[in-house]
A and B are shown apart, each in its own frame.
Chain A
Amino acid sequence: MRLTADERAMLEGGYGPGTRKAMEVLVGLGRIYGARRMVAVSSVQVAGVSYDNLGEAGLQFLESLAVGGARARVLATLNPAGCDIANWQALGISQEFFDKQSQVLEAYSKMAVTITCSCTPYLFGNLPHFGEHVAWAESSAVAYANAVLGARTNREGGPSALAAALTGRTPCYGYHLEENRHPDVRVHVKARFPRQSGGAATHEFGALGQAIGQRLEMEGKKVPYVEGIESASLEELKAFCASLATYGGVALFHLPGITPEAGAYPLPEASLTLTRGEIDAILRQESQASRQEVDFLSLGCPHLSLREIAHLADLLRGKTVRREFWITTSRPVKRLADEMGFTEIIAASGAKFAVDTCCVVAPIRGRFKVMATDSAKACYYGYAKNGMHTLLLPIDELVVIATSSTS
C-alpha cells in the first residue's frame, strides 16, 4: 500500500504510540482488503461504547490508546453507551456498571471523541454530504450514511472506526470505490404501506427491511435496488436501514426517487419480488408473544427523532403507564424535547427516558420476559442477546399496551 509522508510518520511513531497503533490497524485492514492507498475521512462514528459489550479488555485497550496520546483528528461521535449517564439509577443500572461505563467515556473524552452516545449522529451535526468519505461503525447509521446521504463508508468495527478517528484516514476499498456501489439485485416490492398517524410506519419499514434482508442473505446479494416504495419519512428510512443491516448485513441500498445514487448505475439482471404476504408473515411471526405478559416496552431503535417524541407526547398526554417503558434517544434530541415541553408530558405518564443508551446495549439480560417495540432490529437483539420474547407493533398499539392494567 502506498502511504503519504504524513501517514508513514504516523505508522513509524512520529505522532506517539496511540496514533501508531491506530495506523497499524488501518494498514493491516488495508492489506487484507487489497487497498492501494488510504483515503482522508471527514467524520467518524465510533462503536464499542457500552461496557456490556467492551468488557474489561476493551476498556483497557481504550485507556492504553488515550495514555499513548492519541487524539481524534476529525469529527468523531459515539455509539450508545450501556446506560443513561444522568438517569442510570431510575433505569435499574448498578453503581458498579455505571462506574465502568464512566471510565469508558472518560477514555474516549481524553481522545477528543465527542461524547454524544447515539446511533443517529446524523440527527445532530454529524451529517456528511453526498460523496464525502467517512468511516462509520453502527450498522444502521452506516446504511443511512451510504444509501440515504450518499456518503461513502465501509461497515467499520469498533477498533477500525476509532483508528480512523485517530488518524483521519481509512483504507480505500469497498464502498469508498464507485465500482462497488452499484446494485447487484432488483427487489420489486408489491405492497402498499398504510399511512400511520404521526407519519411513521416504522414497524412496517422494519418488517420490510427484515424481509428483504433475509432474502438477500439467502441469495448472497448485498446491494439491493428496491422498487415500489413511493415515499418514506426520515423515521421510516432509519427503521429500514437498521433492519436491512441487522437481517441482511446490508451497508448500501438504492431507492429510486428517494436515495441520491439510485439512478447512477446500470440495473442488474438478478431480481426478486416481495409481496405484502411476506411482510405480514414477519409481522405475525414477530407478534406471537402474549400482550398480557409484556413487562418491558422500548422505543428508539434507532434513537428517536424529535418528531417521534412529539407524536409520543400526544399519545401519552394525561395517560398512566403501568409497565416499564423506555424512551431511548440521544441527549441533543432529548434537550430539544425538554425545551418543547414533550419531556414533561411523557415523564408525567410514567414512561422513562433512557438517554445515551438503548435496549440493545444496556445490561438488561434476565430482567424482562417479553419486550414490545416498533423496531425489528430491537426484536432481533432482544431475543438473541437479551433472551426476551418480542412483539413488533406500531407505536399507537404500544402505548395501549403500556397503559393497560397488568393484572
Chain B
Amino acid sequence: MKLKGRSIFSGTARGAALVTRMGVSFFGGVDPHTGQVVEKGHELEGHSISGAVLVFPTGKGSTVGSYTLYRLKQNHLAPLAIINQECEPITAIGCIISEIPCVDRIPIHKLKTGDLVQVDGAKGVVVVLK
C-alpha cells in the first residue's frame, strides 16, 4: 500500500510503525534520556519512540518540544521518522533542526503499530511493506 502525503522534511527511513490516535507533546511528554513516553494517561505511556516510525495525528504542548526532539536525536534516541495527519510547527521545526524525515497529510488510520513502513520525506510518500 502506497500513501501520498506532503513533505515536511527530507530523508528516508524504514522501520516498524508505532501508532497512536492521541496528540504527542515532546516537551514534558517524552523523556529525552530514555525516549519513553511519560505523559500520564497517554496511549503510549511507557513505550519508547526511539528507532520507531512514530505515527500520531498532530503535535501539542510547549514550543520547547522542538528542542526535545533535537535532544533525542543527539542522544541517538530519536524516532526514525515521523508521520502526522496534520503537522504543526513544534513537530515540523523539531524534525527540521534534528534532520528527522517527516511527512504529513497521511490517512494515519490506515496504519497500525508493527506495520513495516518505508518513508520518503522529500516525496511525502509512505509505503506499507507488510
Instruction: Give the chain B neighbours of A61 by CB distance below 8 A.
Output: 67, 70, 97
What residues on B are CB-neighbors of A57 within 8 Å?
A: 32, 67-68, 70-71, 74
In the assembly, what is the distance between CA of A346 and CA of B32, in Å? 43
Interface of A is mostly: helix
Among B16-24, B35-43, B84-92, B109-117, the stretch in contact with A? B84-92
Given contacts A160-B89, A160-B93, whether A60 and B74 have CB atoms under 8 Å apart is: yes
Asked if B53 is at the interface of the complex by the 8 Å CB criterion, the answer is no
B54 within 8 A of A: no
B63–A28 contact, CB under 8 A?
no
Partner of A32, one of B8, B32, B70, B71: B8
Q: Answer whether residue B96 sits at the interface, using C-beta atoms and an 8 A cutoff.
A: yes
B6, B32, B96: residue with the most chain A Cβ atoms closer than 10 Å: B96
- Whether a CB of chain B sits under 8 angstroms from the CB of A332 is no
Given A28-B9, A32-B88, A159-B66: A56 and B71 interface contact (C-beta under 8 Å): yes
- Chain B residues contacting A55 (CB-CB under 8 Å) are 64, 67, 71
Decide if B92 touches A29 in the complex (CB within 8 Å).
yes
Contact B96 A28, beta carbon cutoff 8 Å: yes
A55-102 with Cβ < 8 A to chain B: 55-58, 60-61
Residues of A near B63 (CB, < 8 A) are: 157-158
Contact B87 A32 (CB under 8 A): yes
Q: A54 touching B67 by the CB < 8 A rule?
A: yes
Within 8 A of A (CB), among B56-99: 63-64, 66-68, 70-71, 74, 87-90, 92-93, 95-97
Cβ contact within 8 Å between B74 and A25? no
Shortest CB-to-CB span from B74 to chain A, Å, is 6
Looking at chain B's contact residues, is the secondary structure mostly helix, strand, loop, or mixed?
helix
**A157 near B66 (CB under 8 angstroms)?**
yes
Given A24-B96, A28-B8, A61-B97, A54-B64 contact (CB < 8 Å):
yes
Nearest chain A CB to B67's CB is how many angstroms away?
A: 4
Asked if A25 and B97 make an inter-chain contact with CB atoms under 8 angstroms apart, the answer reads yes
Q: Decide if A25 touches B71 in the complex (CB within 8 Å).
A: no
Q: How many residues of A contact B (CB 8 A)?
A: 20
**CB of B52, distance to nearest CB on chain A (Å):** 20
What is the minimal beta-carbon distance from B101 to any residue of chain A, in angstroms? Answer: 12
Cβ contact within 8 Å between B89 and A32: yes
Q: How far is the CA of A158 from the CA of B63 in the complex (A)?
A: 8
Min CB–CB distance B68 → chain A (angstroms) = 7
Closest chain A CB from B85 CB (angstroms): 13
Interface residue A31 (Cβ < 8 Å from any Cβ of B): yes
Which residues of A lie under 8 Å from residue B67 when comparing CB positions? Answer: 48, 54-55, 57-58, 61, 158-159
Q: Is A377 an interface residue (CB 8 A)?
A: no
A331 within 8 A of B: no
A228 to B97, CA, bound (A): 46
Q: In this assembly, does A152 line the interface, its C-beta being within 8 Å of a C-beta of chain B?
A: no
- Expressed in whole angstroms, the minimum distance between the Cβ of A298 and any Cβ of chain B is 22
Can you name 16 A-B residue pairings with CB atoms under 8 Å?
A: A21-B96, A28-B8, A28-B9, A32-B92, A48-B64, A48-B67, A54-B64, A54-B67, A56-B71, A57-B68, A58-B64, A61-B70, A157-B90, A158-B66, A159-B66, A159-B93
**Interface positions of A (Cβ within 8 A of B):** 21, 24-25, 28-29, 31-32, 48, 53-58, 60-61, 157-160
Q: Rank and list the top 6 A-B pairs by shortest CB-CB distance, nearest first.
A: A57-B71, A157-B63, A58-B67, A57-B67, A28-B96, A28-B92
B→A interface (CB under 8 Å): 6-9, 32, 63-64, 66-68, 70-71, 74, 87-90, 92-93, 95-97
Known A25-B97, A55-B71, A58-B64; further 18 A-B contacts with Cβ < 8 A: A21-B96, A25-B96, A28-B8, A28-B92, A29-B92, A29-B93, A31-B6, A32-B89, A53-B64, A54-B64, A56-B71, A57-B32, A57-B68, A60-B71, A61-B70, A61-B97, A157-B63, A158-B63
